[in-house]
């Protein structure tokens, strides 16, 4: 059995997140591999994979804030809101020439903070049990409802490049889970009246995890699984419990204590469970890990 825990992977361009999972399954010789947060084939960057019982931790990671680096091209809109989709509309050189740097920065400011965002139609969101992208590819019109998201940082990196046929620039975005960077490019372009889409996207952070120690298929970097206990202590608040409390949790009982969100509990350095409040004075288990699976 592969070591239970988390594996950080730097996904290359041109493959799906499921392709990454398949490759890691072969490398580790196990079927029990999952990921926290899909990346489009065009996108590169951080995927957090759960290995063996490490998959139980993914539910506590997938909803964390994320950081992306992207390239936005203004001057045309596409079906997918990125460079892989068919072009819907192209602005004229005159229209593009009327857009100033100040207008772009003002548009970015409008899309920063707590905003309502309509997800890209070509997305993995389910509509009546079917992925939205599948409905779009089947020729249906999909109009997804807007949702509230938080964009805590949306900044231009470097120069804004003004060309005759388009305007292009790089950005960094810190945002809540469920935010579509493609939709930010689309909405910025629409606000400026010339359309917009992404030409590049790279995820650099998910919660407390970043690319610094991520496995890269192309450079032969070592494949290092983060131990369950270390992974839990990195991504969740944590506390030590007694031997008796460990026994109680393993038998489905509650333990005394208070917490305001899911919390990892460890006994002698080993991850026992992730718990949540049962009432103001006691905690109950959300997931329990088998004895002997982790140690730090």
182 by DSSP, 3-state: which? helix
State whether residue 13 is helix, strand or coil: coil
Residue 296 has pLDDT above 70, yes or no: no
Calpha distance 121→60 (Å, rounded):
26
C-beta separation of 215 from 222 below 8 A: yes
The domain spanning residue 25 has which CATH number? 3.30.2350.10
State the average pLDDT for the chain. Answer: 91
- Give the pLDDT confidence score for residue 131 in this predicted structure: 56
* 40 in catalytic set: yes
Q: Can you name the residues that pair with 153 across neighbouring β-strands?
A: 174
Is the predicted pLDDT of residue 219 greater than 90, yes or no? Answer: no
Per-residue pLDDT, averaged over 120-145, amounts to 60
In this structure, the answer to whether residues 92 and 196 fall within a common structural domain is yes
For residue 137, the surrounding DSSP H or E stretch is helix 132-137
Marked catalytic residue, from 10, 19, 40, 65: 40
Q: Are residues 200 and 214 in the same domain?
A: no
Task: Evaluate if residue 132 carries a pLDDT over 90.
Answer: no
Going by pLDDT thresholds of 50, 70 and 90, the confidence category of residue 140 is low
Residue 128 has pLDDT above 70, yes or no: no
pTM of the model: 0.92
Examine the domain organization and report whether 85 and 176 are in the same domain: yes
Identify the DSSP state of 41. T
What pLDDT, in 10s, does the model give residues 165-181?
Answer: 999 999 999 999 999 99
> Is residue 294 in a domain?
no
Same domain for 16 and 130?
no
Q: What is the pLDDT of residue 222?
A: 80
d(CA 238, CA 270): 12
d(CA 117, CA 146): 5
Question: What's the whole-number mean pLDDT along residues 77-101?
Answer: 94
Share of the chain above pLDDT 90, in %: 82
Q: Is residue 295 part of a domain?
A: no
Residues 55 and 92 in one domain: no
pLDDT band at 286 (very low <50, low <70, confident <90, very high): very high
Q: Number of folded domains in the chain?
A: 3
Q: Are residues 113 and 51 in the same domain?
A: no
Residue 125 has pLDDT above 90, yes or no: no
Higher pLDDT, 288 or 294: 288
Name the residue range of residue 24's domain: 5-64+207-228
Separation in Å, CA 227 to CA 8, 95, 107, 110, 212? 12, 54, 43, 42, 17
Same domain, 194 and 91: yes
């Amino acid at each position: 059995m592969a070591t239970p825990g988390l594996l950080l992977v730097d996904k290359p361009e041109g493959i799906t997140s499921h392709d990454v999972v398949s490759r890691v399954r072969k490398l580790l010789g196990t079927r029990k591999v999952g990921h926290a947060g899909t990346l489009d084939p065009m996108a590169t960057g951080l995927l957090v994979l759960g290995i063996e019982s490490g998959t139980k931790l993914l539910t506590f990671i997938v909803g964390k804030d994320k950081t992306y680096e992207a390239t936005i091209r203004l001057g045309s809109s596409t079906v997918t809101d990125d460079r892989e989709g068919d072009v819907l509309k192209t602005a004229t050189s005159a229209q593009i020439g009327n857009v100033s740097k100040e207008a772009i920065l003002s548009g970015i400011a409008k899309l920063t903070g707590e905003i309502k965002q309509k997800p890209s139609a070509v997305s993995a969101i389910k509509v009546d049990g079917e992925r939205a992208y599948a409905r779009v590819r089947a020729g249906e019109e999909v109009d997804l409802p807007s949702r509230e998201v938080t964009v805590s940082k949306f900044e231009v990196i470097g120069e804004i490049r003004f060309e005759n046929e388009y305007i292009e620039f790089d950005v960094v975005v810190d945002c809540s889970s469920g935010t579509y960077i493609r939709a930010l490019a689309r909405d910025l372009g629409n606000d400026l009246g010339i359309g917009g889409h992404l030409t590049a996207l790279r995820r650099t952070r998910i919660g407390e995890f970043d690319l610094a120690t991520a496995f890269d298929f192309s450079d032969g970097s070592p494949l290092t699984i983060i131990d369950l206990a270390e992974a839990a202590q990195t991504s969740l608040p944590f506390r030590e419990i007694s031997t008796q409390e460990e026994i109680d949790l393993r038998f489905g009982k509650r333990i005394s204590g208070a917490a305001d969100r899911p919390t990892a509990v460890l006994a002698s350095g080993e991850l026992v469970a992730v718990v949540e409040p049962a009432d103001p004075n006691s905690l109950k288990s959300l997931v329990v890990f088998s004895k002997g699976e982790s140690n730090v």
